[in-house]
Structure 1
Amino acid sequence: MLLYLAQEGRGIGLANKLRAYTLQDGGLDTVDADQVLGFGDDERQYAVAVDMLNALNIDQVQLLTNNPLKMEALRQGGIEVVSRQALYGSVTDHNQRYLNAKATRGGHLLEDVLSGQR
């Protein structure tokens, strides 16, 4: 089952995500850019995902994520996260700073990909 939540840019919306990209091009990392725009580190809410799973009578999931906040939100909503599957792309010169910020500032579980292991 794949759930899609329309929460682009960690919940700040597509237009603000584009504004944040401009700030990142000016040297800010992803977290600082969102804060300059007046947003927190992550504005997403996961209660709707819990509601969707409950409506489908699903109380256990294998979650595809690098974000521990998603796992905790589902657990708090009564959904058992039986396992987590990491999602990795390739680290490039263009995304390394962004991924480092997600790991160090956002707590994302990216150690393996950032250290070159997979």
Structure 2
Amino acid sequence: MGLDKRGAGALKLVTAIIKPFKLDDVREALGELGVQGLTVTEVQGFGRQRGQTEIYRGAEYRVRFVAKIKVEAAVPEDRVGEVVETITQAARTGRIGDGKIFVTPLEQITRIRTGETGKGAL
């Protein structure tokens, strides 16, 4: 199923995996940009660093997964660039593990309460 013509226009899902302490910065920056809805999930994973090494009571051990935050926002296709740039600027520390941003197409969005679809459902 494609998007209903009443809410015509391509929509994308922007998914950012960021450091937990950067969440407020990202939320505020997206709010200033006019992004109205976010989904936030606590997640764990690893990238190139393959986790990290911790020292606890003098013993070194390896943490296989690093705590991260996943932020998701559905946005019109023509706003994707500015949303990605805003997240990049707000989440960047310049250190390894800053995260990644993924952009994927959305087939359909439906607001459960009203039945609106497409952009109207945002």
| TM-score bin (small chain) | under 0.3
Larger radius of gyration: 2
Q: Which has the higher helix share?
A: 1
Q: TM-score, normalising length from structure 1? A: 0.28
Q: TM-score, normalised by structure 2?
A: 0.27
